[in-house]
Amino acid sequence: MSDARRLITPAFVALTLSELAYFLAIGLMIPVVPLLASGPMAAGPVGVGVAVGIFSFTALVLRPFAGRLSDRLGSGRLFLIGGILFTLVIAAHLVVESYWALLIVRGALGVSDALFFVAGMAALADIAPPDRLGEALSYNSLALYLGIAFGPALGEWLLRAGNFDTAWLGALGLGCLATLFAAGVPRMKRVHAPAEPAPLIARQLIGPGLAFLAGLGGAAGFLAFATLYARDIGLNGAGTVLFVYGAVVVGCRLLFARLSDRYPAPLLSGWALINCALGLGLMSLTDTSNGLIAGAVVLGVGVTFLTPAFYREMMSRLPASQHGAAAATFSIFVDLGLGGGPILFGLIANPASIPAAFAIAAALAGLAGIAVLTSFRRAPKPG
């Protein structure tokens, strides 16, 4: 295979390992920040929510600007800057002694996340062969899954073994690793910089972004409400269901990564949405553990291809000189899906029921899938 089509290169490995260390650090902080805010800093439930949420809010607001900066400086350079800033902000946690100081460093952490995450998505598109983008994201996204899966347990272990400073030192070590690996990502200058910067949110990405949001929001709602629904139908919890779902997504992304590039991105996106709809719909109709597990498996297969397919589609709609802008818009819809899905489920489940929330999420994903497939069939074919 020619070098031009190689995917597993030193740059790709450095990018993925950097993101793994980064997301382990982010996951580590998931249990630590609420305990710090509610314990030594005596913040109430609202204060805890603000301390946790200001990070995500700041990152979401700044992602479009990070995309523009990535296109101007080069994705690899901004990726390294984001890693350095992240590490410095983690170090600042060691001297935080008040709730307001915690809010400041959490906001600064959101700034570093906007730079690091958007530049990482853009760098992936810069590094990977254009015809292997789906496969590239399938492998690369495992860094996020593994980080969020194992990071919280690491954070709790560090707290038990020492104290809050011990946890921050662990996160600091991971931040240093993330920065070290980020230095191995090529810091390429844009050869053909656009005469005018791309819009902060490109209009041609809104359609596929909304369709992606319909599927990802349903999956996020499932993750948020699976435990409550499992208890409603008489189970002790949703541990088995969530484990099966995670195993399906990770396993299928490893085994079927190359399928993500074999079919046109709109076709794969549409069928991924239909699969998500079927899984969510099945869970809305069941009141047994086997039914819930079956729905999780079907949903997991859909999610396996959902993100890689829409990543391909959205990155291909802008020229290479605007990979940063495309990555920023893609990451915004990731944030909206992961944050908005549980909110939508809650708004539906409160007056109705959790199965009703599953059913409406299934309908939204199904309609989005039909719209994507219909648009693909109507699109003019080359030649």
The rounded distance, in Å, linking the Cα atoms of 280 and 294 is: 10
Exposed e or buried b for every residue in 198-228, given b needs 16+ CB within 10 A?
A: beebbeebeebbebbbbbbbbbbbbbbbbbe
pLDDT averaged over every residue in the chain: 90
Is residue 52 predicted with pLDDT exceeding 90? no
In the numeric block, which tokens belong to residue 98?
């008040």
The yes-or-no answer to whether 3-182 and 203-378 have a common fold is: yes
Answer whether CATH 3.40.50.1400 is correct for domain 3-182.
Answer: no
CATH class for the domain made up of 203-378: mainly alpha
Is residue 43 predicted with pLDDT exceeding 90? no
Exposed e or buried b for every residue in 243-280, given b needs 16+ CB within 10 A?
A: ebbbebbbebbeebbebbbeeebbebbbbbbbbbbbbb
Name the pTM for this structure. 0.88
Q: Give percent of the chain above pLDDT 70.
A: 95
pLDDT of 284-327, one tens digit each? 999 899 999 999 999 999 999 999 999 999 999 988 888 999 99
